[in-house]
Structure 1
Amino acid sequence: MPDMPELAASFTAALHDAGIAVGPDRTRSFARALTLLEPSTTRELRHCALATLVSDREQIEPFDAVFREVFGGPADRGAQRGQPGDPARSLPDAVPGRVPGSRKATADGRGREADTPPREAPVPLAASPLDRLANRDFADLSAEELARLSEVMRTIVLRTPTRLSRRRRTAHHGARIDVRRTLSVSRRTGGYPLRLRRFVPRARPRDLIVLCDISGSMEPYARAMLQLLYCAVRAAHAEVFTFATRLTRLTPALRRAGPDDALARAGRAAPDWSGGTRIAECLAEFNERFGRRGMAHGAVVAIISDGWDTGAPADLATHMARLSRVAYRVVWVNPRTASPRYRPLVAGMAAALPYCDAVVSAHNLAALDDFTAALSAPRHRR
């Protein structure tokens, strides 16, 4: 039987490439189902995958296509009714990637298993099991594990709450009358507006802004989080800044970079990597150059830092108060809060805490669920 975590990571990565949204939570559910049920046939494996990875009827067809490509399963639903002991649908015993032989159509049009030996299918396997990566602290991961982590992070979707834009769309039960469209349509009825046209504002996701601490105390976590921020820039059109002794806008570098050289470009763009920490000064620069110009107005702002600051706590509190007045929601990501013995005794963290809507750890892959939930939650002031 192949390694279940590797099997789950490989299959869910193929589903994501096919356009099916499969996050780390669904991947973990699929891995648990494989471990508990230990399916021995492709039919049982397909049922496990359907129950944990598919959430919509429209996803079944592309799901089956990926399943056939990876495991060589039958193409039609009727073929799924085979006996559990059918060797043509049995899972491989030793080599991950070995799948049953293909089906050939006979003259009467009915499918029959061909008398061909099993074939090898190119199934991509993760070097590190997903369960081991999911609960390991980002600071303890090697460079190879960080590279594998980026493959999983590409499946994570960062969503923000919606806001009403100035654009509008036609609606049958809108609260406001679209006078221009009503008059335009009334020309068909001799100028009499027999039917009122209405509209409602369009809803669009709020902007996402991330400020990531790359000082010496945050370097191990910053390398892992930048993998996620690279995906956020591409998918959610987020704005990413790094700070240590200075503020650097990293969005252009991440947009042009590929997944393999994102960290290299980030290091070249931010010369203060692994330096000291001046959170208050960098936050003041952000408020002055970007926040007041409208970038932070109504946006969700995430600050990734452990709170160590060489400046005065009163200055950080002042600039956090300015940011909280214009931002829709402020989420502080502090990996140190994962420890049960953590207390906000650091002066910088204590000064910023009253102006945060949520504080999460995001110190490992499993804890990223709390981070994504905090970004999409409605506004709530402490």
Structure 2
Amino acid sequence: MSPSVTTTNGVNANGVVKPKKTTISTPLPNPSLQVTADHNLKQVEAPVYAPGIGEVLLHIKATGVCGSDIHFWRHGRIGSLVVEGDCILGHEAAGIVLQCGEGVTNLQPGDRVAVEPGVPCGVCFLCMDGRYNLCEDVQFAGVYPYDGTIQRYKCHPAKWCHKIPDHISFSEGALLEPLSVVMHGINTAGLSLGRGAVVCGAGPIGLIALAAARASGAHPIVITDLEPSRLEFAKKFVPSAITYQIRKNLSAEENSKEIRRLFNFEHVGEYGAPEVVLECTGVENSVITACYTARRGGTVMVIGVGREIMNNLPFMHLSLAEIDLKFINRYRDTWPAGLQCLGGGILDLKPLVSHTYPLEQALDALHTCGDLSNGSIKVQIIDDKENVF
């Protein structure tokens, strides 16, 4: 098509200055799900922009709902990341290239791609050192003021779009983002073949961590959660896993003792206790439990997003036992390896998708994900519309 074009003034309704963009007309509207500064959600039609230099225009076919989307909706912030105005949510996405901007050589219209949502500055010392996930000037989709992927049309730099083969669905392509979080956590934690591990939390990240830890050769693996239904799912998802339901009437230290007993390490002493604990909830009490669960000299890897300040970490226990308490911020250089995991059959994450909604019902998707009583694991928003360009 030959779309009509209009140049915007570079300032959005919230007064945030953005580079000038050219809007285009499209055969279909561009419904989007936006979060507001006063903790509300709204479904509105968003403008469609022509791809700039180095960008591609995408038809977003699948977007997963993440816990961070719920955080931004209900709390308006994650740490220093604050919702100060309207912002389109979503960052776990895959789609089709519709149009290529000037200078794009690695993609062409019709290519199927998974979207790596963070666009780092490329020039700071962290980017130059290859640690672009720590770039302070990153433009991350779905984090104010950078619009996300719960919309039909979105421009994104071609450099951060990864081709996916035909045998990987768009739904699986969208799962590459949470898989990347887990892969970065596992790589940083240093799981060892035949060494015990614990996964705290049987939500989507915890379940992916469970499957990835198993594929990495950790054994035995215990997964914990408060909800028995999630532990039942975890057992079906990875049958070799040992499940433990956190007991609310026990302290963090008491729960940790019960978890450690599941490793049956009496014959080898402390060596048989879990070497790595992957904490995937961010809940303070769970982090404390993880600290007491890891063996002396072990590692606690906090993957989950939690409160800005935690006051009760067992500092001297960690110190005397030389337990490494580590953290990650998103991921780096994980999409190619993640594609190999899915394409090569190392991991099958398709069973995690419990609910799907059409784009026009994105608001319902957020409400389903935000209410644990619905029994959702991974909720995805799908757009199957054809002839969109």
TM-score normalised by L of structure 1: 0.34
Instruction: Determine which structure has greater relative contact order: mean sequence separation of CA pairs < 8 Å that are 6+ residues apart, divided by chain length.
Output: 2
> Greater helix percent: which structure?
1
> Greater strand percent: which structure?
2
TM-score normalised by L of structure 2: 0.34
